Every structure is written in C-alpha cells, then in structure tokens.
Structure 1
Amino acid sequence: MEYRRITSIQDPLFKKMHDLMKEVFPQEEVLDFELWKEPLEDPGIRVFVAVHENEVVGATEYRYYPDWNIAMTDFTIIGKSGLGIGPFLVQKRANDLMELAAENSKQLFGMFAEIYDPYRVKDHDFGGIMSMNPFVRREVLAHLGYKRLDLQYVHPSWNNDGEAVSGLDLCFMPTDPTVSEISADLVVNFLNRYYSVLPEKPAEWIQMIEELETKETVQLLPL
C-alpha cells in the first residue's frame, strides 16, 4: 500500500478520493470539488490517500500549526475492510507529524479532531462501510487517546450557509496522556483560524466562542 500526497484537483487520485468522501460523509461535511483547489495547494494542509492496486482505499487530511505546536485531523476514511488501512494511515500520519514538529524543534503537544457522537445522531451510516461505523470509530479514537472537550460543540456547515452542525464532539489527543485540560485561548484561536475560510458563522457557533473566551482552561473528558 502506498501513502500518496495530493496537491492538485487535477491529480486523478483526487477525483477518486472525492468520490469516496461523497460515499461516506453527509453532504454538509463535503466541500465541493472545485473548492478544493486552494486547500490542496496550501502547503500547510496535508491530504494523503492510501493507494492499493491503483485504487484509493483510504484517505486522511490534517494540518500542523507550528505556532501552537498542535495538529488537526480533518478526516480519516477507511474505504475497505480487511486491508489494515486504519493502522496504516494512523502510523503514516503520526510519522509525518513527528517530523514536522521536529523541524519546529518541538515534540507535538497534541491533535484536535471532530468526532461524531452516535448516541446523539444515529443516521450516519458512512456508506455502509462497517469500519467507518460511528460507534466503531469513536471507540478506536478513544483507544488512540482522544478525549472530548467539556463544551457543547457546534461547527459552521461546510455549505457556508450559516447553519450550525451538531452531533459531534471537539476532541483533543494530548501526546502526554496525563494532560487533563488545555488552554481555552488555544481552543478559541484554533477554531477561529480553522473556520476562517467560512465567512457565514451561525449564532450558536459565535455564542460558543464567546463562552470559551470567558474561561481559562477546558477540561478533557473521557470519550
């Protein structure tokens, strides 16, 4: 299996990846094909696919923020079961992030991720791919060390229509498993930068940010 980076919508592997995304994610979570042009060309956004027998069988997008020494996992897709795609992507991503942090003369502090809560939202079947089942995903991510932030989380819809998307938790995986809280300022700054690409912010998101700005820290709770 190969770990291939995609940096252009002209890459034939990108269309295969985008088709896979549309199969497994809800419509409001998938950016339109043409709108991927700038993100893919952004050196700070790292999009990789797992290629097996010339087919895209998995994908992951993530980014590293050197000023905060943290990362964000945008998504991980496992397109087929029984190929070891999940461990393959996790290890390749971890190695890449460790190298990026080392170039920054740091050890990675941790990584954010938005994780579906299947106990609240039960209609995501992720294209019928059992490896992507939200109960399975949540348990796997808990085993990796992700913890949920103690807040009522929403995010702006990627349709940029000003709608709030709920049913997810904002989570953080600290490199040091003894870390039990993180700076509220870090969360606010990260979310403001991460969603700066979407000008239409829902009122619920703005209220969430304002509430975070009144706090010093945010607790990390079991997932």
Structure 2
Amino acid sequence: MEYIRITNIGDPLFGKMHDLMKNVFPPEEVLDFQLWKEPLEDPGIRVFVAVHEEKVVGATEYRYYPDWNIAMTDFTIVGEAGLSIGRFLAQNRQRDLETLAKSNGKELFGMFAEIYNPYLSAEKHDFGGVQPMNPYVRREVLSHLGYKRLDFPYVHPSWQNDGEAVSGLDFCFMPQNDEVSQIPAELIVNFLTAYYSVLPKKPQEWLDMVENLKAKEKVTLLPL
C-alpha cells in the first residue's frame, strides 16, 4: 500500500478520492469538487490517499499549525475492510506530523478532530455501506487512538456555505501527553475562528458557541 500526497485537482487520484468522500459522507460534509483547487495547492493542508493495487482505498486530510503546535484531522476515510487501512493512515499521518513539529523545534501538543456522535441523533447514515466507517465503530476507534471529547455543545458551519449549523458531532482533542486533562479555551477559539474563516456565512449557533468559549479559561477533556 502506498501513502501518496495529492496537491492538484487535476490528479486522477483526486477524482477517485472525491468519489469516495461522496460515497461515505453526508452531502453537507463534502466540499464541491472545484472548490478543492485552492486547498490542495495550500502547502499547509496535507491530503494523502492510500493506494492499493492502483485503487484509492482510503484517504486522510490534516494540517499542522506551527504557531499553536497543534494539528487538525479534517477527515479519515477507510474505503474497504480487511486491509488495515485505518492503522496505515494513522501511522503515516502521525509520522508526518511529528516530522513537521520537529522542524518547528517542538514536540506536537495534540490534534483536534470533529467526531460524529451517533448517540445524539436518531438519524442514521450508512456511510456507503462501508462498515469500518460506521459512526459507532469510528467513534470507538478514535477513542482507542486517544481522542477525548471537549466539554461544550458543538456545532459547525455547513461546508455548503449556506449559513446552516451542522450538529451531531463532538469537538475532540487528542493530547500527546495522556496527563493533559484540560486545554485553554483561547486555543479552541483561535483555532475554530481560523479554521472556518473560509466560510463567510456563519450560523448564529456557531457565533454564540464561540462567544461562550471566550468567557472560559479552560475546557475539560472528557472520555469519548
């Protein structure tokens, strides 16, 4: 299996990856094909695919923020069962992030992720029928990796940029040091403000959430 970075919308592997995304994610979670041009060319956004026998069987997008010494996992896709794709992606991503942090003269503090919470909603999504992408399975795997839930109600702006709030997720953080039980609220505010700056239409629920975070000093990490 190969771990290959995509930096151009014209790369045939990107078309395969985008089809995979549409197969496993709800429409409001998938950025339109053409809107990927700038993100792929952004050196700070790292999009990699797992290629097995010339087929894209998995993908991950993440980024490292040197000013805050944290990372964000945008998504991880396992397209087939029985190939250890999740472990392959996680290990390669971790090695890459550790290298980026080291070049920044630091050890990585941790990584954010939005994680589906299927217990919050009766709505079901089959995620393309790919069982490893089942939200219950993914949530437990991410818990095993070390992700913890940040203690506040979470929504995010729809990636369709229609001003709608997307719920049904938890905002989580995986500290490199298991002894970390809280992180600064200011870090969360700064990160979310920067991360969603590309979407001009922010729902009021999201704006209220950010204002509530600004009033806090620390946010507790809870079991996932």
With normalisation by structure 2, the TM-score equals: 0.99
Matches for 1:1-223 after TM superposition, within 5 Å: 1-121=1-121, 122-223=123-224
User: What's the CA shift string for 1:175-214, capped at 9, x where partnerless?
Assistant: 0011000000000000000000000000000000000000
Residue identity over aligned pairs, in percent, reads 74
What residue ranges of structure 2 are gaps of 5+ in the alignment? none
Moved over 4 A (4+): none
Shift of 1:8: 0.5
Instruction: Count matched residues.
Output: 223
User: What's the CA shift string for 1:50-107, capped at 9, x where partnerless?
Assistant: 0001000000000000000000000000000001100000000000000000000100
In 1: Cα distance, 2:96 partner to 2:200 partner: 31
* Matched position secondary structure for 1:131: helix
What residue ranges of structure 1 are gaps of 5+ in the alignment? none
User: What's the CA shift string for 1:110-160, capped at 9, x where partnerless?
Assistant: 000000001113412111100001111000100110000000000000000
In 2: Cα distance, 1:156 partner to 1:124 partner: 20
* Matched position secondary structure for 1:119: helix
User: What's the CA shift string for 1:30-52, capped at 9, x where partnerless?
Assistant: 00000000000000000000000
Q: CA RMSD in A?
A: 0.5
With normalisation by structure 1, the TM-score equals: 0.99
Moved more, 4-13 or 115-124: 115-124
Moved more, 120-129 or 178-187: 120-129
In 2: Cα distance, 1:102 partner to 1:80 partner: 33
> What amino acid is the match of 1:74?
D
> What amino acid is the match of 1:135?
Y
> What amino acid is the match of 1:128?
G
In 1: Cα distance, 2:206 partner to 2:63 partner: 22
